[in-house]
Structure 1
Amino acid sequence: MNTSTLVTVLPHDELCPTGLRFEARPGRKLVDELLAHGVAIEHACEKVCACATCHVHLREGAEFLAGADDEEEDQLDDAWGIDAQSRLACCVRVKGPALVVELPKFSRNHARER
């Protein structure tokens, strides 16, 4: 039985130009899985939910995850371009059959040019 989660990262001009698919271990932080697979996502607070630099959009699969808590919601208020599918990768514990992740064009720390 395969218990891993298939993570699809949509193309991002700077961090993942061709997109990426990989198997992630359930229970691990999404930010750690992205970093382990070569996606250099920012994490200025060292992954403790104290900044919004690891902001991502979960385009599919969020229904399998625990919802954002108040601390994460507060930090998301400072992220660029949030929407209903916004989460902090340091707060997301990988779970479910699949996740589709979109990396924002901008982060809280700096603008990324196309």
Structure 2
Amino acid sequence: MTQIVVLPHAELCPDGAVIDAEPGTSICDALLQNEIEIEHACEKSCACTTCHVIVREGFASLEPADELEEDMLDKAWGLEPQSRLSCQAKLAEIPLVVELPRYTLNMVSEGSK
């Protein structure tokens, strides 16, 4: 099992969380399986940026993003060098620390606070 530490997020995970998931599972699926309701508007098909996360620790353990993911990430709100689309990033055996951005492009366009 791979451990994921999820940093606190005011709406999705106010107290933060520590979860375990099988290697090969996407970060998005691991979060959803542990009741962290991350947005995934395109149903995990790499067609939006709503599942954008920032991998604060363990980033190098992930397979590199492919060209399509890189193109989508360019549209993400709050993009950082360690940003990934959680639907595309598959867990290895190295623990991760993940931050959920404050907003997604979806939330910004809908006027959420």
Bucket of the pairwise TM-score, normalised by the shorter protein: over 0.9
Aligned partner of residue 106 in structure 2, secondary structure: coil
The one-letter code sitting in structure 2 at the alignment partner of 1:8 is V
Q: What is the 5 A alignment of 1:20-39? A: 20-39=17-36
Instruction: Give unmatched runs, 5+ long, in structure 2.
Output: none
The normalised TM-score by structure 1 is 0.93
State the number of aligned residues: 110
Deviation at 1:97, TM superposition (A): 2.4
Dislocated runs of 4+, deviation >2 Å: none
- Once the two structures are superposed, what CA deviation does each residue of 1:11-49 show, in whole Å capped at 9, x if it has no partner? 000000000001111001110110010111000000010
- Of residues 42, 47, 57, the one that matches 2:44 is 47
Match of residue 58 from structure 1: 55
Q: Which of 66, 69, 74 lines up with 1:72 in the alignment?
A: 69
Match of 2:82 in 1: 85
Q: What is the aligned-residue RMSD (CA, Å)?
A: 0.9
Structure 1's unaligned 5+ residue stretches are none
Structure 2 equivalent of residue 99 of structure 1: 96
